[in-house]
Structure 1
Amino acid sequence: METLGMPQYEVEFKKKSDNFIRRSAQGIVCIILKDKKLPKGKLIEYNSFKEIKAESMDAENYDLLKLCYKGKPRKVMVMPIDDYEVSGEDSKITLAKALEILKFKRFNYLTVPGILKKHHETLVTWVETHREFYRPTHLILSGYSNESGKRFVYNWSTDNVYIGEKKYSAADFCIRLAGVLAGVPVNESVTRYELEDVTSADMKEDEDSLVNKGEIFLTTDGDSFYISRGVTSLQRVSSDEDIEDFRKIKISETADMIYQDIKDTWQKKFVGKFMNVYRNKLVFIAAVRDYLESLEKIDVLDTAGDNRITIDIDENRKYLEEVKKVKVDDYEEARIKEANTGSFLFCVGSLLIADALEDLKMKFYM
């Protein structure tokens, strides 16, 4: 007798929830590098540092990739270019041409150590567009200045970082941060992440102020060096898509993973495979609810919150009125909820993502 088993969409969500923390610690780093030896115009992928041959690239770039792999990313992608300028000779691979090649690739972190500050916004705009169509990508820059900031841009600001006798600029050390972020699981935070090999660096004063400005930097307790706090560059919430909690990398990236898991499963297991009738809408919603409940069990979501999803009655009403030209003033809520909405499934939900323990306030009375 044939074994039917669970529906494929439920299996897909179960796989994602079971491996949520593991997947978050296996990020992919993409680095755009100016190099004289590597072949231009071709994306090179390394699954481990052992695959990288020192003689295949410039010595300083080999050292940077070694620095990145200290953070234990799952994969490093290198896009070799001739010039960090956006435009240039047709025969050269510029930053703009590199971004065109990367357009259809998926990766978690992008950094361009040699980028000129005048091209920061070009890169930010590209990543913003990339996030809309592919896996949410995060950009790591140094010296990024924007009054509002972006939750997907991480601004590293410590310069002259020494590992032994070797000195790294703030721009170069973005690669180390990318590797660290790619290797830290979602149930941990990069706040106070120790960099055991760092021997000295340009230290900051007024650290609280810098954190509030969305900067990430090195701090020290006098013995060791640590990443200050896992904050995004977001300083002012100016969009419906952003919330105050997205000023923390931990919260922002968890939200990205949940969004992508639901989106991927929707596209692979639901689109075109179910008719858009009410009972099938409930199938998808029930599957997402089970997925959210499974994330509660591994402390990705906080059970103190209302972690749920349901049909968006307001959007259903809007669709009926504006698209179907139906007057729904006298409709009961259940009728609007179960209404035919063409090819659209309108959902609304809420999440409370668990934060990491980072702050302590304590009082003793005697």
Structure 2
Amino acid sequence: MPTSNGLPTLKIAFEKAAQTVANRSKKGTVAVFVRDENAQGVHLLSREALIPERLSVENKNQIKLAFQGSDRGVPSQVVLVVIDTDSSDTTALEAGLKAIEMCSIDYMAGPMDVTDEEMAKLVEWVKDQRAAYRPVKLVKPWKSAGSDDMGVIELDETGLKNAAGAVTASAYCARIAGILAGIPMGMSATYTSLPELTAVTERTALEQEEAIKNGKLILIHDGLQAKIARAVNSLTTILATGKEDWSRIKIVEGMDLISYYLRTTIEDQYLGRYPNTYDNKQILVTAVADYLRYLEQAGVLSPGESYAEVDYDRQLKWLNDTGIDTSAMTEQQVLEYQTGSWVFIRCGGRLVDAMEDFEVLFNNL
């Protein structure tokens, strides 16, 4: 029987990770690319006052847009990437991407005048980062074909205006990225107000529905103010192993945060530190289960639906693949058998969505 002498540093680390996820209010990071002859490089900005003075007024205003957030929250940090003004190839952009590979970024936006070639590089980079379990997501203008990816959010707007005149979708992506980075875990960006806009792309109700179903982030105007219509990413193809709610920005945000903190906490506090015994596997399972229950209490996961356990099926497959005869083994014997350096854990839960769709019946008595 395992003793109560667990791995306290691991449990404490998971508790801190859970609190970080559960309390994600005004704590997101947004990366913004601008072209400028001055102040080239990466700047970590915690407030507007730190924006480099030598930047152009237009670029300063772009960074301020990212900082603005919404009445639901603001980003805690802007990772400003100032690249060379030459956009004839993707060299400057790729150098900027390389420079921020180790930064923890939630959302990002390319330059205001991003080229098609640069946009392809941005999408490729984000997909590579997400494949490595880094939770970055890209906000980009929609082109002729959607990216069909949960890590890519595509703004489809051609009729944006503010008090100064027309605004391009490319120039407004930093604003959207900043809003998304500042949204707390318990909220979604749906119907977030955009008070500076005086006009958005005109669409009928049917056209709005069609755009959203096609993975486009669009804006609406209710006659009083502009709003984000529905906070969706570009994912439209749902595989057999996927779920339709993966097209919702809020759900993907929760998935990203939980998987990121699970991975980094295990890597930093567990990997290589302890013998790969059944007792130590159970201690890890207990720590993960406690972490998920904490998120249930915080309203991140649905109460009573989370679980963590040693993965019997994957462990059995590993034993068979390595030539071990398991035909006479009990399930418990399979679970307790040594598996070299491999640890197979399965865990899960149901992410809680925000209230977005309502049906209210009024009875006139």
TM over 0.5: yes
Give the distance between the partners of 1:343 and 1:239, measured in 2 at CA. Answer: 31
Aligned to 2:230: 229
Whether 1:301 aligns to 2:301 is: yes
Aligned to 2:77: 75
Aligned to 1:219: 220
Aligned to 2:275: 275
Whether 1:149 aligns to 2:148 is: yes
Aligned to 1:350: 348
Q: Which amino acid aligns with 2:8?
A: P
Give the distance between the partners of 1:21 and 1:164, measured in 2 at CA. Answer: 38
Aligned to 2:192: 193
Q: Which amino acid aligns with 1:238?
A: L
Aligned to 1:289: 289
3-state SS, counterpart of residue 215 of structure 1: coil
Give the distance between the partners of 2:240 and 2:135, measured in 1 at CA. Answer: 17
Whether 1:102 aligns to 2:100 is: yes
3-state SS, counterpart of residue 23 of structure 1: coil
Q: String of CA shifts for 1:157-186, please: whole Å, max 9, x gaps.
A: 123433322432101100000110111101
Please list every run of at least 4 consecutive aligned residues from structure 1 whose deviation after the TM superposition is greater than 6 angstroms.
none
3-state SS, counterpart of residue 357 of structure 1: coil
Give the distance between the partners of 2:192 and 2:33, measured in 1 at CA. Answer: 25
Structure 1 residues 36, 204: CA separation in 2 closer, same or farther (over 3 Å shift)? farther
What TM-score, normalized to structure 1?
Answer: 0.90
Give the distance between the partners of 2:77 and 2:363, measured in 1 at CA. Answer: 51
Q: Is the 8 A contact 2:200 2:221 kept in 1?
A: no
Higher normalized contact order (CA 8 Å, seq sep 6+, divided by chain length):
2
In the TM superposition, residue 351 of structure 1 has moved relative to its aligned partner by: 1.4
3-state SS, counterpart of residue 23 of structure 2: helix
1:59 to 44, 57, 60: 57
3-state SS, counterpart of residue 193 of structure 2: coil
Whether 1:329 aligns to 2:331 is: no
Q: Which amino acid aligns with 1:336?
A: V
Residue correspondence of structure 1 range 232-247 to structure 2 within 5 A: 232-238=233-239, 240=241, 242-247=242-247
Aligned to 1:248: 248
Q: Is the 8 A contact 2:62 2:174 kept in 1?
A: yes
Number of residue pairs aligned between Structure 1 and Structure 2: 352
In the TM superposition, residue 362 of structure 1 has moved relative to its aligned partner by: 3.4
Give the distance between the partners of 1:192 and 1:348, measured in 2 at CA. Answer: 36
Structure 1 residues 13, 164: CA separation in 2 closer, same or farther (over 3 Å shift)? same
Which range moved further: 106-115 or 246-255?
106-115
Aligned to 2:28: 27
Give the distance between the partners of 1:177 and 1:208, measured in 2 at CA. Answer: 20
Which range moved further: 355-364 or 181-190?
355-364
Aligned to 1:320: 319
Give the distance between the partners of 1:344 and 1:310, measured in 2 at CA. Answer: 15
Which range moved further: 108-117 or 340-349?
108-117
Structure 1 residues 147, 176: CA separation in 2 closer, same or farther (over 3 Å shift)? closer
Q: What is the percentage of aligned positions where both structures have the same residue?
A: 27
Q: Is the 8 A contact 1:148 1:236 kept in 2?
A: no
In the TM superposition, residue 52 of structure 1 has moved relative to its aligned partner by: 1.4
Give the distance between the partners of 1:45 and 1:52, measured in 2 at CA. Answer: 9
Q: Which amino acid aligns with 2:196?
A: D
> Where in structure 1 are there 5+ consecutive unaligned residues?
88-92
Q: Which amino acid aligns with 1:20?
A: V
Give the distance between the partners of 1:148 and 1:20, measured in 2 at CA. Answer: 28
What TM-score, normalized to structure 2?
Answer: 0.90
Structure 1 residues 265, 273: CA separation in 2 closer, same or farther (over 3 Å shift)? same
Give the distance between the partners of 1:76 and 1:239, measured in 2 at CA. Answer: 37
Structure 1 residues 239, 80: CA separation in 2 closer, same or farther (over 3 Å shift)? farther
In the TM superposition, residue 136 of structure 1 has moved relative to its aligned partner by: 1.0
Structure 1 residues 158, 35: CA separation in 2 closer, same or farther (over 3 Å shift)? same
Which range moved further: 177-186 or 28-37?
28-37
Give the distance between the partners of 1:215 and 1:223, measured in 2 at CA. Answer: 23
